[in-house]
Amino acid sequence: MAATTVAGLVVDALGRAGVARIFTAGTGVSPAFLLSAAERTLSLVRADGAVTAALMAAITGELADAPGAVILADAGAEDIRPAFRYAVANRAPLVALTERGARTETASLLKGAVDVEPASASHWIAHAVQLALSDPRGPVAVVIPPEVAISPAIPMATALRPVIPPPSAQALDAAAQLLVNAARPVLVVGLECRTGDVAGWLRPFAETLPAPALTTLKGKGVLPDPHPLALGLVGSATARSLLDRADLIVTVGVDVIEGAHDTWPPATTVLHLGRVSQAEAWPTTVDLVGDIALIIEELAPRIRTRSRADWDVAELDRLKRSAIALARADRSRLSRVLHVARELTPAGTIAVVEPTTSEATVAAAWPAVAPNELLIDLDVPEFPPAAAAAAALQHPDRQVICVTTAPQAILGVIEGLASSIVIVSVSPVPGPAVGRIATVTARDEPMLRAVLGRIARQREPALVDASNI
């Protein structure tokens, strides 16, 4: 595309960075952005409100290895503080295009704010994208007044993705020595492993050692939960048993914001593999900073000579079976709904859950076979509809199920996007029908199984009232 306006340059840069859609709310989007998005074949997705639009963009940034993008046509940065807080807390890359700058309180939530001028538009939008994607990832505001958006601009060649330098050979050798000498290594997998090629490398890495793998909530599914070495969340009783006996903890893509470092004995040797150094957050013997998949690839030939770890395979199997049985014994409504839904929906189904109990209970009830198959947030009321919509748009070939206490908000999303999201309400649904989708009431667990089984086969949107099971 021959970009001739600032809006054209901005949209072109976002497209080259991997952005597939731009979210917005309201009707005041500059025609220059509309035209540029159409020329670039980027879709423009409208949401009911600015916070929901920005949340959808932030969650898209988590699901894709690209920044989420939102245009705040009738709103400013002040109006979407909850979305900025979410992006910070979840390391979600987000580029917010706004007509006015942020005040001090909001600016403190941002990684940066860029004021775009026509003469340097290419430079500053590239800077904003790089800043959002640089670790730790987060939100960046790009201020483009209406008169600037339509101004002529000159395109320039720019790099859009940050370059992560590889670790030195000496650091790789030191890390390999720790792995070779360890008798009982434990892997702890975190949020930096959600995107990219890490999942493809982690499984052979864990099997080569071999080492049990624990995950943070955001790292769930990087090693598929059914795998014999996947032993659940890092804060569980099983995890404490393993970490107390480990002689080496290998943190893979764990971020300090996840709090995992509070769960292991402080005297244990720690090897960190990640895109960001965590040496200030917890003591590390070796800190390998770089592209995680590349680090594991470089370590592979260096650990071929190691003896197999001293973990009792039978004990690991017993721990795993015990954790599964404990999860099955939970008879809370939410746990039962999730277990039934997981059994009856195809592999790859994405669950968006509004927890009415602990996150650990939810995680145990929804085994994941890939990253980002379980989306949870306790703090933002607009999260369930935003996450369901973002997941359905990012993965149109996969089933999305949303378990919530407030189905009305998600129904608006389904009707607006024409998506096949399945809503399961664990609280009573008011009235026989909401919107254009009739409510199906499941009066007991067998009926819930029958209803969800039929819905899974039909791949149609549905609302299921499971408040009575």
Pick the CATH number of 169-319 from 3.40.1190.20, 3.40.50.300, 3.40.50.10800, 3.40.50.1220: 3.40.50.1220
Q: What is the fold of 6-149? A: Rossmann fold (3.40.50)
- The closest alpha carbon to 297, from 204, 164, 219, belongs to 204
pLDDT above 90 for 379? no
Q: For CATH 3.40.50.1220, list the domain ranges present in the chain.
A: 169-319
pLDDT above 80 for 309? no
pLDDT above 70 for 128? yes
pLDDT at 158 (0 to 100):
87
Number of Cβ within 10 Å of residue 41's Cβ equals 9
pLDDT at 433 (0 to 100):
53
CATH level 2 (architecture), domain 330-465:
3-Layer(aba) Sandwich (3.40)
pLDDT at 408 (0 to 100):
83
- The closest alpha carbon to 421, from 374, 461, 466, belongs to 461
Residue-wise DSSP of 301-325: GGGTTPPPP---HHHHHHHHHHHHH
pLDDT at 1 (0 to 100):
44
Q: In 300-406, which residue ranges form alpha helices assigned H by DSSP? A: 313-329, 333-344, 359-365, 383-394
Q: In this structure, are residues 368 and 219 in contact, taking their beta carbons and an 8 Å threshold?
A: no
DSSP 253: S
pLDDT confidence tier of residue 434, bands split at 50, 70 and 90: low
pLDDT confidence tier of residue 334, bands split at 50, 70 and 90: very high
Quick: pLDDT tens for 400-419: 999 999 888 888 777 777 77
Q: Which of the given ranges, 72-81, 275-284, 429-438, has the highest pLDDT on average? A: 275-284
pLDDT above 90 for 183? yes
- The closest alpha carbon to 219, from 202, 206, 207, belongs to 202
All residues at 6 or more sequence positions from 116 whose CB lies less than 8 Å from its CB, including other chains: 6, 10, 124, 125, 142, 143, 144, 148
pLDDT above 90 for 232? yes
The CA R_g of the chain, rounded to the nearest whole Å, is: 23
Rounded CA separation 89/258 (Å): 9
pLDDT at 200 (0 to 100):
94
Alpha-carbon torsion (69, 72, 78, 79), positive or negative:
negative
pLDDT confidence tier of residue 430, bands split at 50, 70 and 90: confident
- The more confidently predicted of residues 178 and 357 is 178
- The closest alpha carbon to 236, from 257, 265, 216, 211, belongs to 216
Element (H, E) at 198: helix 198-208
Which region among 27-31, 259-263, 464-468 has the lowest average model confidence (pLDDT)? 27-31
Q: Which amino acid is at 121?
A: A
Q: For CATH 3.40.50.970, list the domain ranges present in the chain.
A: 6-149, 330-465
Q: Mean pLDDT throughout 122-135?
A: 96
All residues at 6 or more sequence positions from 452 whose CB lies less than 8 Å from its CB, including other chains: 340, 341, 344, 345, 422, 424, 464
Report how far apart, in Å, the C-alpha atoms of 15 and of each of 320, 399, 451 are: 43, 26, 41
Look at residue 130 and give its three-state secondary structure: helix
Specify the pTM.
0.94
Alpha-carbon torsion (196, 197, 198, 203), positive or negative:
positive
